[in-house]
Amino acid sequence: MKVALIGLGSVGRGVAEMLAKKDLGLVLTGIADSKSAFMDPAGIDIARVLAHKKKNGSCGDQNLTAEDIIKKADYDALIEVTPTNALSGEPAIGYMKAALNRKKHVVTSNKGPIALAQKELRAMARKKGVALRYEATVAGAIPVMHTLEHGLAGNEILALYGVLNGTCNYILTRMAAEGLTYEQALLEAREMGYAEADPTYDVQGIDAAIKLVILANTIWDNGVKLGDVDRTGIDLLTPDALRLADEEGCTIRLIAEANPKKHLLRVSPRILDKNHPLVFEGTLNALTLETDMAKEITLIGRGAGSIETASAIIGDLLYIRDRYVERA
């Protein structure tokens, strides 16, 4: 199966490295970063392109763009991993539509477009007879979408709750363990590379809310939007709040939860017993699915990271390869 890769940040680099390293039957025929692009229908020498990018800051020909690759390259599946834009979803939404229009499968890690335009993109993929897969948009390496699609097939999903932002979990872990203030723990998270220079999206619960919207639409197809999420961040939490929780054998975690029957769609700091399955340290993510037959299933794993996110993308690509391309 031939694939084209749009975006060469941390995730894109991880995907490219794994395509080069592993014998997965996936041939890279097009690649683009924000400044340049390169295509070769016979298969790109990934090591050479990555070395070029490292040396010159761009991966290919500066007269070519991502659009050129998407519209002209010879590929079966587009891997769209450009930086996310939660407000407009662009340019990624346009990229995906262009690929779907050419009847190309699309795999993305891009949260903004899927939170904003999941219904439209899914309908477009269905109409064109191709796949739109976005395992990597929620909880990094944890195969949430595959679990919903296959592992729990036949189950009704009644509700879900989870820790969907590793940065917040790290900050809360450190506030509880060392009695740090929010500001101190945030500074530490930045030094560790767990928080962005502008941490707003993480600490105000926006990132978790975006993932919650993606999950809710995937499971219940209920057309919820980011603005529908009842959202409280962790940036106003005091060490006293954590100390009081601790005295009761509890701690505080930023929990995303959805329960359509209770009209619940919320991201907020919650007091949990320390033995609760969603209480763990560090930057991990977790999700509990409440179902009618399997009852509660909890998945825990890495919510971010270059290779970890590549794992989710490659899982989607191999699924498409087995399901569509080999049978074509």
Amino acid identity, position 70: I
Residues 6+ apart with CB under 8 A from 236: 182
The verdict on whether 97 is a catalytic residue reads: no
Q: What span, in angstroms and rounded, lies between the C-alpha atoms of 145 and 111?
A: 14
Taking the complex as a whole, how short is the minimal distance between the CB of residue 303 and a second copy, in angstroms? 11
Residues 289-314 as b/e (b if ≥16 CB within 10 A, e otherwise) read bbbeeeeebebbbbbbbebbbbbbbb
x-or-dash pattern for a second copy, window 151-190, by CB under 8 A?
A: xxxxx-----------------------------------
- Interface residues for a second copy in 3-62 (CB under 8 A)? 18, 22, 24
Residue 325 interacts with a second copy (CB under 8 A)? Answer: no
3-class DSSP state for residue 142? coil
Residues 6+ apart with CB under 8 A from 65: 32, 36, 37
Taking the complex as a whole, how short is the minimal distance between the CB of residue 85 and a second copy, in angstroms? 26
Closest CB to a second copy among residues 226, 300 = 300
State the catalytic residue, choosing from 211, 261, 262, 274. 211
Q: In terms of DSSP bridges, do strands 157-163 and 77-80 run parallel, antiparallel, or are they unpaired?
A: unpaired
Site size for a second copy, by CB under 8 A?
Answer: 43
Q: How far is CA 204 from CA 165, 182, 200, 284, 317, in A?
A: 11, 12, 6, 18, 33
3-class DSSP state for residue 318? helix
- Interface residues for a second copy in 288-317 (CB under 8 A)? 291, 293-302, 305, 307-308, 310-312, 314-315, 317
Which DSSP symbol is given to 156? Answer: P
Token pair listed for 230: 């009842």
Taking the complex as a whole, how short is the minimal distance between the CB of residue 300 and a second copy, in angstroms? 4
> Which of 148, 102, 145, 96 has the alpha carbon at shortest distance from 120?
96
Residue 119 interacts with a second copy (CB under 8 A)? Answer: no
x-or-dash pattern for a second copy, window 272-291, by CB under 8 A?
A: ---x-x--xx---------x
Token pair listed for 299: 């998945």
> Which of 90, 107, 124, 86 has the alpha carbon at shortest distance from 229?
86
Among 27, 86, 159, 318, binds a second copy (CB under 8 A): 318
Taking the complex as a whole, how short is the minimal distance between the CB of residue 53 and a second copy, in angstroms? 21
Taking the complex as a whole, how short is the minimal distance between the CB of residue 24 and a second copy, in angstroms? 6
Closest CB to a second copy among residues 239, 301 = 301
Residue 147 interacts with a second copy (CB under 8 A)? Answer: yes
Closest CB to a second copy among residues 129, 154 = 154
Amino acid identity, position 84: T
Q: How far is CA 212 from CA 138, 153, 290, 298, 310, in A?
A: 8, 20, 15, 16, 21
Among 39, 114, 142, 163, binds a second copy (CB under 8 A): 142
Taking the complex as a whole, how short is the minimal distance between the CB of residue 297 and a second copy, in angstroms? 4
Interface residue list for a second copy (CB under 8 A): 18, 22, 24, 135, 141-143, 146-147, 149-155, 275, 277, 280-281, 291, 293-302, 305, 307-308, 310-312, 314-315, 317-319, 327
Residues marked as catalytic: 211
